[in-house]
Structure 1
């Protein structure tokens, strides 16, 4: 048992929900630190950048294929309206869903990989332009807005998805 008392109020659930949100931000902080350290201390920063993004993209595609096969098997074994369910499932396969938001499949938890890829690309562009301070300010504002689309939607709700590179990953990468 995590807490010695029952979690029956909204405030207790709110606290628990926010305390458990440290894994993905830590992943972005560690990735951003290690990436930044490498491109600053490497002469071949463009080559490292390309290899890094391609490696993460390969991981994403492999797991995307895995989750797609898994979902198709689950739908196939459901025995009711298989064709209709498959059509509904593959309707979610849009370019934005797959390559920006990282959703549209049963592997919706892979959103952090696409977010990392886009954050690294944006970070590298601003690094090359020597405008990291501008990126830090802009990404901080977007992150504050993004928090109202996720954790703090209880206070103010934003109707767009903010679990992506611009609202979540970019500030933490900087």
Structure 2
């Protein structure tokens, strides 16, 4: 039996374009998934309290939460803001949100939202973010007043009260000092 010889396939312009598109598209997709689109870690000025990339408490009075999930009508932004506000001790309306840049920190380069997982996967993390910022602000106020942190009260309106003297500081009065502190490793949640 004679072997039938396959005719040589010609590389047409169409086949070349399809092949190139597949290779380039696949390469771009793999690069993106591996982190090629990650922006730089958020770099605030030295006076901004940034316990991590989720939250910034700025000395000008802005509190900004980076939202790394999509809002598609299920209340993700409202839920995230409420969690952070409760732990931080501020009214939810005082927090503004931004879409988070693509960072490895968020551990979800695609920043997808599906199956009602946003609140489930961020519940503790966002509470810890708010608590860390709160503890850093309390520590900074205690240092300014030369008192123990137990003497600093948070009434819930972005202020700190010295229980012994009744003196009041705004969060934004101590933001710069708090920004110089190391974020706590373990926080106490409300």
TM-score, with length taken from structure 2 = 0.27
**More helix per residue:** 1
Q: Normalising by structure 1, what TM-score?
A: 0.29
